[in-house]
Structure 1
Amino acid sequence: MKLYTFQRNSAGERVRIALGLKGLAYDYVSVPALPEGAYRRINPQGLMPALELPDGQVIAQSGAILAYLEDAFPEPPLLPADPVARAQARSFALFIAAEMHAVTVSRVRRFVADDLGTGTEGEARWLAHWTTEGLVRLEEMLARRPLASAYCYGDAPGWADLHLVPALRNARRFGVPVDPYVRLLGVEAACRELPAFQSARPEAQPDFQA
């Protein structure tokens, strides 16, 4: 398999973590290193990441890639066995991907700063507002779990956790304080001890530049 991504692409980091948790080998392809126009020929959406299968078929969007990996390689599972916990883990992850990440990606930020004329100050306010709003909600979701656990929804890392860790990384990169969110930070600390999360970090990628 080939994963088309970029070191700081947080959606790509989610997939890298999932591949690591499942022990699956893949080739890392840095999209910025490809010739102009090459990636859009591979993935018409033009967004990262994309997973190319051995037969040449391509799956775009991290959520779709994660679903494929869970279906094709069910062990170890990324989702809890309990149906309610499974749904809650998906809900937690979807909130990050659809409500937080979707409004803070670089193309949205550029539109806010440049096309809407808010400049860097407006962009910073936009990021701070939506990131903080999201973190508050995620912390409350974990607070409402019937049982506390080392990871978001259970005693093993999975679907929700691999969304959370890149989201917290982005928050810090945007200069948004994360100290108030003790439950989120507790899960992050547990995840940081695991090789799958360590090897997926931007700093561990072949195209990393400080």
Structure 2
Amino acid sequence: MILHGYWRSGAAYRTRLALNLKGLAYEQSGVDLRTGAQRSEAFVALNPQGMVPALEVDGAILTQSPAILEWLEETHPTPALLPADALDRARVRAMAALVGCDIHPLNNLRVGKALRETFGADQAAVDAWAARWILPGFEALERLVATHGNGWCFGPTPTLADCYLVPQIYSARRFNVPLDAFPRLLAIEAAAQAHPAFVAAHPDNQPDAD
């Protein structure tokens, strides 16, 4: 497998986490979003949307991190990143979607670029924009983890929800979002910092990091 991604992309980060948690070997190919490499003819041939990640698997190309993570769970079910019970699986997917649908798309690189170029936002304004969406999402997640968590977002082992949450905490710190109100989420971040799969997936540890 070859993962085409950008070291600081939250979507690529969550994909690395799932691959690592499942113990799968993969190569990495860096796509520098800052220089527009995602719009190159070569990359658009892989992913017409021109976004990361893209995962090459035996000549096939998978795109969109939620689809990739679900494919990984279906084709490599052990260790499981979704619970056995159908209701619990729905709960974990909902926690993941809270980040993937309602937080992350509003503070990714292309949104920040649009805020700067179209609306003249400075970094403080971009940070405030990110906080506007991260804080209410984290408030909801803090309550959900209080109900369902046991060291991780849902139960005593990492799930898809953690694959989404941990990269979003990394992003929140980049945008200077205050996190003291979320002790349960910070405890998950601390657990991730001690977990080999999470350490290996961290942006600073990627071959294209700078």
The TM-score, its normalising length taken from structure 2, stands at 0.92
Give the counterpart letter for 2:6 in structure 1. F
5 Å matches for 1:1-210?
1-32=1-32, 36-54=40-58, 56-145=59-148, 148-209=149-210
Shift of 1:170: 0.5
Q: Distance in 1 between matches of 2:19 and 2:84?
A: 20
Q: Which moved more, 1:89-98 or 1:78-87?
A: 78-87
Give the counterpart letter for 1:192 in structure 2. Q
**Identity of counterpart residues, as a percentage?**
40
> Over residues 159-193 of structure 1, what are the superposed CA-to-partner deviations in whole Å (9 max), with x where a residue is unaligned?
11111111100000110111210111112222222
**Unaligned segments of structure 2, at least 5 residues:** none
Q: Does the 8 A contact of 2:52 with 2:64 survive in 1?
A: yes
Give the counterpart letter for 2:22 in structure 1. K
Q: Distance in 2 between matches of 1:20 and 1:120?
A: 33
SS of residue in 2 equivalent to 1:152 = coil
Shift of 1:116: 2.8
Shift of 1:137: 1.6
Q: Does the 8 A contact of 2:3 with 2:55 survive in 1?
A: yes
Q: Does the 8 A contact of 1:80 with 1:154 survive in 2?
A: no
Give the counterpart letter for 1:94 in structure 2. A
Give the counterpart letter for 1:2 in structure 2. I
Q: Distance in 2 between matches of 1:138 and 1:155?
A: 16
Shift of 1:127: 1.2
Give the counterpart letter for 1:21 in structure 2. L
Q: Does the 8 A contact of 2:127 with 2:177 survive in 1?
A: no
Shift of 1:125: 1.9
**Unaligned segments of structure 1, at least 5 residues:** none
**RMSD after superposition:** 1.6
Aligned length: 206
The TM-score, its normalising length taken from structure 1, stands at 0.92
SS of residue in 2 equivalent to 1:179 = coil
Give the counterpart letter for 1:108 in structure 2. V
Give the counterpart letter for 2:26 in structure 1. Y
Q: Does the 8 A contact of 2:6 with 2:31 survive in 1?
A: yes
Give the counterpart letter for 1:183 in structure 2. R
Q: Does the 8 A contact of 1:136 with 1:181 survive in 2?
A: yes
> Over residues 3-29 of structure 1, what are the superposed CA-to-partner deviations in whole Å (9 max), with x where a residue is unaligned?
000111111111111111111101101
SS of residue in 2 equivalent to 1:51 = strand
Give the counterpart letter for 1:41 in structure 2. A
SS of residue in 2 equivalent to 1:69 = helix
Shift of 1:41: 1.2
Q: Does the 8 A contact of 1:93 with 1:163 survive in 2?
A: yes
